[in-house]
Structure 1
Amino acid sequence: MIYLVFFLAAVVVVTAAIYLNQFGDVISKKSALSGAVVGTFLIAGATSLPELTTSLTAVYIDNPDIAVGNMLGSNVFNLLILGIVDLIYRKRRLFQKVDHSANIPSAIIGLLFLAILILTLFLPGSIQFFGVGIEMILIFLLYIGAMKFVSSSGSDESEGQVKTYSLRTAVVGFIIAAIVVFGSGSVLSIAGDRLAEATGMNASFVGSFLIAASTSLPELVTVLAAFKLANYNMAIGSILGSNLFNIQLLVLTDVLYREGPILAAVGSSQIFVALLGLFMTIVVIYLLVRPNKRVTNQWRYAAPSLLMTVLYFVVSFVLY
């Protein structure tokens, strides 16, 4: 029964989050508040709302492993999306057709955030201020300072599904979809917690892979839609931007977790998830800085993405 509840909650989360993305896109283009900045925050908030509600519910039921694992696992799954899409469409040479200067800063900032989190997870204790780890405060300040260096170009380039709703319909739809995501995301987190107890599975695995994959499927839809429009810059930029946003949601999760720094309360398995994210981010940076020239063999071009994909499933199996 718990498997069915988990599956149904995941389906509802994904469906509602897709509508959130569509309605948010309409609002950003048709309202007086239109613009790159508003669109970026609105869409980023829409696609990341499942991760937020799931992690906050995990905090409420006192399961920090699912709360942290959901955020770190979602970032890893997002990078897996890039790897698999690059593998399937290897003839298109995804990473050779993007604006490298616009995406490299986001990837490097994400790498720095993960390095800070990994260092904190390795340390026996964490300096805290009012129950919040100093690493989270540092990440938040770095995020604020780094945003002016991150290009937001490409956030207005989607032309697909925008003209079908009126502004009023989009606003009402966005609110309803947000409420549905909040409710179903909470059910998903509680079901994941019960699933870990009933099956004996590691709570870190449940949060980092099962729940994270479910809440990251809207990003997969976004990437595939961008690919369909041959908007490769948006495909990569949306993933890297979503990863940065998710780390900030982890900061919020730590603020709301009142038992001390949340990273001090999680299991050692989270280190492996964070290390996997670090390695996959390094591979993405390599793909972005690799000389933009034709590789005669398509599998040689796709080898880094294949490595990312294989490593993801190997780590998943080991943690399971």
Structure 2
Amino acid sequence: MWFDALPLPALIAGFLIVAGVIAVVGVQLTGKADQLADETGIGEAITGAVLLGMATSLSGTVVSVTAALDGEASLAFSNAVGGIAAQTAFLALADMVYRKANLEHASADLANLYQASLLTLMLGLPLAAFTMPEVSVLGMHPVSFVLPVIYVAGVRIAARVRAAPMWYPVQTLYTRADRPDEAPEHARGPIPLLARFALLACVLGLAGWMMSKIGVQLSARLGISATVVGALMTAVATSLPELITTLAAVRRGAVQLAVGGIIGGNTFDVLFLTAADAGYREGSIYHAITTADLFWIAVGLVMTSILLIGLIVRERDGPGRIGVESTALLLIYGGAVTVQALAG
């Protein structure tokens, strides 16, 4: 592959350029997702969790699958789960941007609570697969077949929860309601929007493929582990759409879309493992990784639990005008990055 012949400075420059492309396309996706939420009437939280979450995760999916096909199990796995921790930390940054109140307070929505609970369930399954006997069906661990089933069932239940909720969050002066924007005169319906949305998502997919190839080379050239490259380099770079779209959504006032996009993107990221297991042809990918890769599963579980608590408690303000949970998320992620960097 021609990536092998590139000098190290060219690889680093390529990494930064691809990361920039991912960030720019992510901004465009936010506006399209918000418009689709209004055009279809399915709401910001569901649109963020499903459509925006899937699209912004596409580049990361391609990284994990490409790495798995190349036999890079640690890179494929750590890229998937490392991005979950990074993206959850992005909500703390968004909380800093949203100055009216704590973001978790303003974005009160049952769909986001449900999606966070679903994510916690799905994160526990790869951890269980690692501890289970090495069993494979068609070259894949049974857990890899279960994850998509849970995801699809979860999306269906989420739609039902929105259509017929069994409880409602208390509305306060700072709660931001999800109301459709006034439709522009040139609106032509959801089909043209979906077409443009799909085109942008394809660009993200191509960027993800390039990011994977560059990541493998950087790991070899710099002499650092594939786990560090996956969790701290490719995962963060391919998570830039989530950062950009979250900040852009908050600035638009679409706080449910911002929180739902992160949680939904994280939930979809767990499915990277199913795709990576299918691409890894040397057996179950869960038994080809190391305990260092599982570190990011644990971090993701802890951070998601804190986020879920924050969404339930709905603190109005906190230290530095952000919530206590946002402060905790930043501290935990910063500590995890430090531990990983020292270990790698």
Which bracket does the TM-score occupy, shorter chain normalised?
Answer: 0.7 to 0.9
8 Å Cα contact 1:127/1:134 also seen in 2: yes
Deviates most, 189-198 or 254-263: 254-263
Partner of 2:80: 71
Instruction: Encode CA deviations 1:235-276: one digit per residue, 9 max, x unaligned.
Output: 211111111112123222222322212121122211111100
Structure-2 change in CA distance of 1:279 and 1:165 (3 Å): same
Partner of 1:314: 335
Q: After the TM superposition, which residues 103-118 of structure 1 pair with which residues of structure 2 at under 5 Å, given as runs?
A: 103-118=112-127
AA of the residue aligned to 1:96: H
- For structure 1, which runs of at least 5 residues remain unmatched after alignment? none
Please give the alpha-carbon distance, in whole angstroms, between the structure 1 residues aligned to 2:26 and 2:104. Answer: 27
Instruction: Encode CA deviations 1:253-312: one digit per residue, 9 max, x unaligned.
Output: 22232221212112221111110000001100110121x4656x5459633221211221
The one of 210, 225, 228 equivalent to 1:202 is 225
C-alpha displacement of 1:111: 0.7
Partner of 2:261: 238
Structure-2 change in CA distance of 1:98 and 1:135 (3 Å): same
Please give the alpha-carbon distance, in whole angstroms, between the structure 2 residues aligned to 1:319 and 1:19. Answer: 33
What is the total number of aligned residue pairs between the two structures?
313
Please give the alpha-carbon distance, in whole angstroms, between the structure 2 residues aligned to 1:215 and 1:207. Answer: 10
Partner of 1:36: 42
8 Å Cα contact 2:96/2:321 also seen in 1: no
Counting aligned pairs with the same residue, the percent is 25
- TM-score normalised per structure 1: 0.84
8 Å Cα contact 2:53/2:262 also seen in 1: no
Structure-2 change in CA distance of 1:161 and 1:239 (3 Å): farther
C-alpha displacement of 1:39: 5.4
Instruction: Encode CA deviations 1:63-102: one digit per residue, 9 max, x unaligned.
Output: 1222111111111111000122224546611111222422
Partner of 1:261: 284
Please give the alpha-carbon distance, in whole angstroms, between the structure 1 residues aligned to 2:282 and 2:272. Answer: 18
The one of 321, 324, 332 equivalent to 1:303 is 324
Structure-2 change in CA distance of 1:150 and 1:39 (3 Å): closer
Partner of 2:93: 84
Instruction: Encode CA deviations 1:176-211: one digit per residue, 9 max, x unaligned.
Output: 544433332211111111111111112111111211
C-alpha displacement of 1:44: 3.2
- TM-score normalised per structure 2: 0.79
AA of the residue aligned to 1:69: S
Partner of 1:250: 273
8 Å Cα contact 1:28/1:42 also seen in 2: no
Structure-2 change in CA distance of 1:128 and 1:17 (3 Å): same
8 Å Cα contact 1:95/1:287 also seen in 2: yes
Partner of 2:23: 14
Structure-2 change in CA distance of 1:314 and 1:260 (3 Å): same
Please give the alpha-carbon distance, in whole angstroms, between the structure 1 residues aligned to 2:248 and 2:29. Answer: 15
Structure-2 change in CA distance of 1:305 and 1:23 (3 Å): closer
The one of 144, 149, 153 equivalent to 1:145 is 153
8 Å Cα contact 1:87/1:302 also seen in 2: no
8 Å Cα contact 1:25/1:43 also seen in 2: no
Structure-2 change in CA distance of 1:18 and 1:254 (3 Å): farther
8 Å Cα contact 1:24/1:46 also seen in 2: no
- For structure 2, which runs of at least 5 residues remain unmatched after alignment? 1-8, 163-175
Q: After the TM superposition, which residues 206-225 of structure 1 pair with which residues of structure 2 at under 5 Å, given as runs?
A: 206-225=229-248
Partner of 2:56: 47
Deviates most, 42-51 or 267-276: 42-51
Please give the alpha-carbon distance, in whole angstroms, between the structure 2 residues aligned to 1:100 and 1:170. Answer: 25
8 Å Cα contact 2:67/2:75 also seen in 1: yes
AA of the residue aligned to 1:15: V
8 Å Cα contact 1:105/1:149 also seen in 2: no
Instruction: Encode CA deviations 1:89-124: one digit per residue, 9 max, x unaligned.
Output: 466111112224222111111111112222323x16
Q: After the TM superposition, which residues 151-230 of structure 1 pair with which residues of structure 2 at under 5 Å, given as runs?
A: 151=159, 159=181, 173-174=196-197, 176-230=199-253
Please give the alpha-carbon distance, in whole angstroms, between the structure 2 residues aligned to 1:160 and 1:15. Answer: 26
Please give the alpha-carbon distance, in whole angstroms, between the structure 2 residues aligned to 1:232 and 1:22. Answer: 13
8 Å Cα contact 2:30/2:249 also seen in 1: no
Please give the alpha-carbon distance, in whole angstroms, between the structure 1 residues aligned to 2:99 and 2:195. Answer: 40
Please give the alpha-carbon distance, in whole angstroms, between the structure 2 residues aligned to 1:80 and 1:161. Answer: 33
AA of the residue aligned to 1:288: L
Please give the alpha-carbon distance, in whole angstroms, between the structure 2 residues aligned to 1:26 and 1:108. Answer: 27
Please give the alpha-carbon distance, in whole angstroms, between the structure 1 residues aligned to 2:282 and 2:296. Answer: 23
